[in-house]
A and B are shown apart, each in its own frame.
Chain A
Amino acid sequence: AQSVTQPDIHITVSEGASLELRCNYSYGATPYLFWYVQSPGQGLQLLLKYFSGDTLVQGIKGFEAEFKRSQSSFNLRKPSVHWSDAAEYFCAVGDVVGYGGATNKLIFGTGTLLAVQP
C-alpha cells in the first residue's frame, strides 16, 4: 500500500542554521510528491512539488527538495532558517485512483513540527 513516512516528529533548529526534513515514501509507480506547510491555526500551503524531470525542485520561501528514487526519499531543505519558518511540515504523495487515472488523492505523512530558536 502507498504510504509516506516522516521519521522526525519534532525538530528544533537555531535561526540561521540549515534545515533538512526527511520524507520516505512507498509507491509502486513514479510518484507525484509534495511538501505542504501548516502554520498554527491555518490550512495547508504548498511549498513545492515533484512530478518528473530535474530531481532537485525549488519551492517558495527558499525551500528546495531532492527526489532520490534509489532511496525512496524526498527530503526538504533550507540553507538558512528564519523564525517565521516555525510550523508543521507535511510530505505527501499523490495517489492515482479511479476516475480516468487522474491524481485526485493525497496520502500524507504524519508531519514534522519545526521549532526555531532565536
Chain B
Amino acid sequence: NAGVTQTPKFRVLKTGQSMTLLCAQDMNHEYMYWYRQDPGMGLRLIHYSVGEGTTAKGEVPDGYNVSRLKKQNFLLGLESAAPSQTSVYFCASSRQGVGTEAFFGQGTRLTVV
C-alpha cells in the first residue's frame, strides 16, 4: 500500500536550473495538490487538480507549473529555479467530495543555491 509517493526525496539545484517533481498515488483519487512548507508559515497550496487533465492555481503559484496527464500522477515543474523556492514540497491526494481526507507524501526537500 504505497499511498502517495514523491520523487525525488532530496535535490539541490543551481539558480536558473529546471526540474520536475513527480507525485504518484495509487488510491484512484480525483484530487491532487502540491504544497510547499516553509518554517513558521505552515503549508501553502501551490497548484491543485480536480481530475485528469485539469489544473488550477493555489495561493503561491508563481514560478511553478503543473500537469496532470494521468489520473495517478501530478507533476510540479520549476522552469528557472530561484533561491526563494528552497522549501520542502508535499504532494497530497484526496477523493472527490466535500471534506474528504487528504493523504500526503513524505516530501521533497529542495535547495536552490
A residues bordering B, Cβ < 8 Å?
A: 4, 9, 32, 34, 36, 41-46, 49, 51, 90, 94, 96, 98-99, 101-106, 108-111
Contacts and interface: CB of A to CB of B under 8 A. Distances in A.
B98 A32 contact: yes
Nearest to B49: A104
Contact of A103 (B41, B43, B98): B98
B106 A43 contact: yes
25 contacts: A32-B99, A34-B101, A43-B4, A43-B105, A44-B43, A44-B90, A44-B92, A44-B104, A46-B101, A49-B99, A49-B101, A51-B98, A51-B99, A90-B43, A96-B98, A98-B56, A99-B56, A102-B96, A103-B97, A104-B31, A104-B48, A105-B48, A106-B102, A110-B40, A110-B42
A42 B106 contact: yes
B94 A90 contact: no
B42 A109 contact: yes
Contact of A105 (B58, B97, B101, B106): B58
B33 interface: yes
Contacts of A43: 4, 90, 104-107
Interface in B50-108: 50, 56, 58, 90, 92, 94, 96-107
B50 to A, nearest CB: 5
Q: Which of B4, B42, B58 is most buried by chain A, counting CB atoms within 10 A of its CB?
A: B42
A104 B94 contact: yes
Interface residues on B, range: 20 to 34
Contacts of B22: none
Nearest to A101: B98
A38 B99 CA distance: 20
A34 B102 CA distance: 10
A94 B41 contact: no
Contacts of B41: 110
Contacts of B44: 108
B45 interface: yes
Nearest to B32: A104
